[in-house]
Chain A
Amino acid sequence: MAGSTAMNFSGAGRRVTSPSTRDPAWVRWTLTIVALGFLALFLVLPLIVVFAEALREGMGAYLASFNDRDLLSAVKLTLIAAGVAVPLNVVFGLCAAWAITKFHFPGRALLITLIDLPFAVSPVVAGLIFVLVFGLQGWLGPWLLERDIKIIFAIPGIILVTMFITFPFVARELIPLMEEQGTEEEQAAMTLGAGGWTIFRRVTLPNVRWALLYGVILCNARAMGEFGAVSVVSGHIRGETNTLPLHVEILYNEYSFVAAFATATILTLLALVTLVLKSIVEHRVRSQMRRAAEESMA
């Protein structure tokens, strides 16, 4: 739910030009200044301060912060967690969208709500439920202990909560688009004798590729940046179970501010790249959606 509605739209629609509905110049100026001032204060300043703090002691100190074996292992773990969670959620998203949009069955609306569930759960609560299942005091704890399998305070736990947190992203980008596109093209491919896999690969996938990419971008950004949920299950073992955001926290709490902010610049650059890619792809998703809507009207 959360993150959902908000992420789907951006950009303006048509502009109002008729003189009777135009705001007077002083109103326009005041509102624009208030809006830009608010955004500068709340968004731009935090962005700049990350780099300013990282470079506070000069370029040399900044670059020296990257010479850290624990940082390297944090990068590695972040890449592993995202590398597992994103592809799995892509497969799930495609399957869920196929089942939900190409067929009618009872409980469809309920299934869509359940897919959105991880968005509604606080990250800390998400971490906690995995501790309650796999932790020592948890449901499967004793069974796992007997077999010497560690999930909580270990890498599998981090991957699991990352999967949980990013679970809905791909599915919820695909479902509205595939719903709008309907099944006509797939039906046509079938009459031409194509099998299920061929239809998916040659017809459906090309039709949804931009929405899929959009979902992957959002999913990946969240997978690499998640903090709360991962923090609960990680156990904060330096060099072992620390992801990049957790490494930032450790450095910060040790008062290694330059190193903490230097690590944060990596994540900030990732966020900026995400925003750029997102606005490029968003445009294509929207035009694809419009085309589908026009076709279903015709």
Chain B
Amino acid sequence: MMYPRLFKRRPGRIPGFGLTMGITLTYLGLLVLIPLTGLIVKTSEMTFAEYWATVTEPRVMASFRLSIFGSLLSASINLVFGFIVAWVLVRYSFPGRKVVDALVDLPFAMPTAVSGIALTALLAGNGWLGRYLEPLGIRGAFSRFGVIVALTFIGLPFVVRTLQPALADLEPEIEEAAASLGAGRFTTVRRVIIPGVLPAALTGFALAFARAVGEYGSVVFISGNMPMKTEIAPLLIITKLEQYDYAGATAIALTLLGFSFVMLLIVNLLQVWSSSRAR
């Protein structure tokens, strides 16, 4: 269905290509590409052994472990609850549904520093939620628990917003067919609905995961920033910078950057997969 439009467009007839392309490339080059190259140049001043020594320091390794496993866990929590939220918002109607739907974007709209102090106030020992967690032996704030809560908060919209259109696009006829063939509701969900939205679910998961790994603002307040325990990788970059250890900061940053590119690649592949399934 792409062909007709492709032929209708005649390149070069509309004016302004030179001007707009020139501005686009200049701006992109100056603001994004040259600074990013700076990072690569800085790293090339380091030998691989030096790079490796930095990123395998126990404190750095611990921060990577927390960033990656914490993000995986929070993205998984979001996958489960995000699916339920998206399902309820798409399939059911209840008073205030529109307001709830708009609210899902709050973690995007709220500055991360504000989310950070708000979550800390909630989960601290004397906070509204923290005081109920304490007797259960859970430290809400200044703990790994707090880090995971903050990462879950920040990732929620990604899962909900990628699942919503996928759930809305499911053909009701297929569900009806499954039901008329004798499938129970549970079987229909398991065999028809979940496979149908799997690419979207994985995309949302990957986006939430990628965002959580790089997240800084909402985590620094609640984590307490204890080395080896609750220190996330982005924070360690800032710590190294404050100690004027530019090489160390760069090594960690490059690792995070490489990680985000892999995630970007995975998300793009998932998109290709889901569009090839749609056809």
Let me know if B269 is at the binding interface, CB within 8 A: no
A-binding segment of B53-61, B136-144, B168-176: B168-176
Whether the Cβ atoms of B5 and A103 lie closer than 8 Å is no
Across the interface, which residues of B come within 8 angstroms of A27, CB to CB? Answer: 185
Let me know if A145 is at the binding interface, CB within 8 A: no
Measured in the bound complex, the distance between the Cα atoms of B114 and A104 in whole Å is 44
Main secondary structure on chain B at its contact with chain A? helix
Known contacts A49-B122, A186-B14, A275-B103; is A14 also within 8 Å of B168 by CB? Answer: yes
Across the interface, which residues of A come within 8 angstroms of B112, CB to CB? Answer: 225, 227-228, 245
User: Smallest distance from the beta carbon of A180 to chain B beta carbons, Å?
Assistant: 9
With both beta carbons as reference points, the residue of chain A lying nearest to B88 in the complex is identified as: A35
Across the interface, which residues of A come within 8 angstroms of B241, CB to CB? Answer: 128, 131, 232
Measured in the bound complex, the distance between the Cα atoms of B183 and A152 in whole Å is 63
Whether the Cβ atoms of A264 and B117 lie closer than 8 Å is yes
Known contacts A12-B164, A46-B119; is A39 also within 8 Å of B5 by CB? Answer: no
Across the interface, which residues of A come within 8 angstroms of B127, CB to CB? Answer: 49
Whether the Cβ atoms of B153 and A23 lie closer than 8 Å is no
Let me know if B226 is at the binding interface, CB within 8 A: no
Q: Pick the contact of B38: A113, A115, A129, A244 (CB < 8 A).
A: A129
Whether the Cβ atoms of B85 and A46 lie closer than 8 Å is no
Whether the Cβ atoms of B8 and A182 lie closer than 8 Å is yes
Contact size range, A: 35 or more
Across the interface, which residues of A come within 8 angstroms of B149, CB to CB? Answer: 42
Let me know if B49 is at the binding interface, CB within 8 A: no
Measured in the bound complex, the distance between the Cα atoms of B176 and A221 in whole Å is 43
Let me know if B145 is at the binding interface, CB within 8 A: no
Across the interface, which residues of A come within 8 angstroms of B73, CB to CB? Answer: none
Across the interface, which residues of A come within 8 angstroms of B267, CB to CB? Answer: 1, 5
Whether the Cβ atoms of A42 and B88 lie closer than 8 Å is no
Whether the Cβ atoms of A35 and B84 lie closer than 8 Å is yes
Whether the Cβ atoms of B88 and A31 lie closer than 8 Å is yes
Across the interface, which residues of B come within 8 angstroms of A226, CB to CB? Answer: 111
Whether the Cβ atoms of B260 and A120 lie closer than 8 Å is yes
Whether the Cβ atoms of B100 and A252 lie closer than 8 Å is no
Measured in the bound complex, the distance between the Cα atoms of B94 and A35 in whole Å is 12
A-B pairs with lowest CB-CB distance, top 5? A13-B168, A122-B214, A225-B111, A196-B15, A6-B161
**A-B residue pairs in contact (CB < 8 Å), sample of 5:** A23-B185, A31-B92, A120-B210, A121-B214, A267-B113
